[in-house]
A and B are shown apart, each in its own frame.
Chain A
């Protein structure tokens, strides 16, 4: 079972300590989660169901806001969350 790093008990996302394939089962806080998308090392996975507008917590601090609903096991990234400050930019998405 692949390792997730859950940095703070208030966090609703965890960090992949290695790349994880879709369908793999991962464990965090004695809970098992089916990974619903491929997650690369260092990327975030939802560890509970999230609603659009929910604050995303990492290190126990707010790192952004959900723009869509997500299930536990979903990849959390640019496609479903945003900054509360300046927008993030990406090649081809500027």
Chain B
């Protein structure tokens, strides 16, 4: 069943947006890249980047996936010149995917002013080269959709999360690929989750992923739990987890994905965000945006973001749909919330009805209608060090 249209990329994948990304390859190039984006003045030009000067296999893998994401039509790389990031390999991968890509090295382009001037010209060329990609039929089987919760409270696991679970069940039944993640917020859910695995290998992978997360967070001294969770009535990580888990719906879990890995076919997937082995770096993901970026690097065309306390973030590259769990928060922040799941708590809508509203919002987003965060220019992005 064909319901939508998408942008056909040369690698055969289909996008729902046609974004030009400007990518800084070290923090030292951040201001120049940001100035190019601001001066270009186009809403479809997004800024992403990696701040570190030391090499990172994780950053290489994720940046390559992000730059060749189906929502991306072309790339401008901005390098200072002396950092470690392997810009040539990245540019080759982008060009090999059939996308236009230009590279500016600040130290060879006359510094800030020269590079900004060259960058604005490059954006004009890249937008022309990426304009009017072939539109082809797109259906649910072409879509990858992720979910995350941020600023969770005691209502999240009763309203917005089960409503997303309802939407996920529908999406999986239609052939879409759906990803849930943050194994540190599935601690305490391992037994209930294991009952939903497609086979014994996946069952073992689920137990391994949650055990690894539990050891990792315990070693670091803090669970994936913030003061706002406590203010909102969540007392323990396992209470938060059981609410977060409801986002996954009731489909069988097909596989546990590693970082940067994409779903092989439609179905429900768990993204294992915790590095293997020893603990050489800090927290697996330092904030919600780091999780969103990883899901986009696993191919997500859009993200369903549930919040109780009230988050405002969107994202570069892929639209974010905000689903508010708490009716009081919705009253305070309605302008940021695409869906009011707090109505479930007030008895004004069922979980199924709210799930249907989420599906309707997903379909509008696929058709090009901006989400609220997208319309307000939210393009949050962060990529930092992590071991693989």
Question: Which of A's residues lie within 8 Å of B, judged by CB?
Answer: 3, 5, 7, 15-17, 40-44, 56, 58-59, 61-64, 76-78, 81-91
Chain B residues packing against A (C-beta within 8 Å) = 153-155, 157-158, 187-189, 192, 214, 217-218, 221-223, 225, 227, 229-230, 232-239, 242-243, 308, 326-328, 345-347
**Interchain CA distance A41-B153 in the complex, whole Å:** 9
Closest A residue to B154 by beta carbon equals A42
Choose one: A42, A89, A91; the contact of B225 (CB below 8 Å): A89
Q: How far is the CA of A88 from the CA of B222 in the complex (A)?
A: 7
Whether A64 and B232, one on each chain, are in contact in the complex, defined by CB atoms closer than 8 angstroms, is no
Once the chains bind, are B236 and A88 in contact (CB under 8 Å)? yes
Q: How far is the CB of A17 from chain B (nearest CB, A)?
A: 5
Q: Are B242 and A63 in contact (CB under 8 A)?
A: yes
Complexed CA–CA distance, A7 and B161 (Å)? 14
A-B pairs, 10 with minimum CB distance: A42-B154, A86-B223, A43-B233, A63-B239, A83-B236, A42-B233, A64-B236, A91-B227, A42-B155, A90-B230
Chain B contacts for A41, CB-based, 8 A: 154-155, 233, 326-328, 345
- Select from chain A the residue with minimum beta-carbon distance to B192: A61
In the complex, the answer to whether B235 meets A85 with C-beta atoms within 8 Å is no
Q: Which residues of B contact A58 (CB under 8 A)?
A: 239, 242
Q: How far is the CA of A41 from the CA of B229 in the complex (A)?
A: 13
Q: How far is the CA of A78 from the CA of B217 in the complex (A)?
A: 19
A41-B328, A43-B154, A58-B239 known; A85+B233 contact, CB < 8 A: no
Contact flag A85-B214 (CB < 8 Å), given A42-B308, A44-B235: yes
- Given known contacts A7-B158, A42-B155, A61-B242, A89 and B236 CB-to-CB distance under 8 angstroms: no
Question: Pick the contact of B153 from A3, A42, A87, A88 — CB < 8 Å?
Answer: A42
A90–B230 CA distance with the chains assembled, in angstroms: 7
Contacts of A85 in B (CB 8 A): 187-188, 214, 218, 223, 236-238
Contacts of A87 in B (CB 8 A): 223
A82 to B227, CA, bound (A): 15
Min CB distance B193 to A, Å, is 11
**Which residues from chain B contact A91 at a C-beta distance below 8 Å?**
227
Q: Which residues of B contact A59 (CB under 8 A)?
A: 157, 242-243
Q: How distant is the Cα of A40 from the Cα of B346 in the complex, in angstroms?
A: 15
The 26 sampled A-B contact pairs (Cβ below 8 Å) are: A3-B347, A5-B345, A7-B158, A40-B232, A40-B233, A41-B327, A41-B328, A42-B308, A42-B326, A44-B154, A44-B233, A59-B157, A61-B192, A61-B238, A63-B239, A64-B235, A77-B233, A77-B235, A81-B235, A83-B238, A84-B188, A84-B236, A85-B223, A85-B237, A86-B214, A86-B225
- Chain A residues contacting B345 (CB-CB under 8 Å) are 5, 17, 41
Q: How far is the CB of B300 from chain A (nearest CB, A)?
A: 27
Tell me, in angstroms, the Cα distance from A61 to B195 when the chains sit together: 14
Closest to B309 in A: A42
Q: How far is the CA of A90 from the CA of B235 in the complex (A)?
A: 10
Contact A89 B328 (CB under 8 A): no
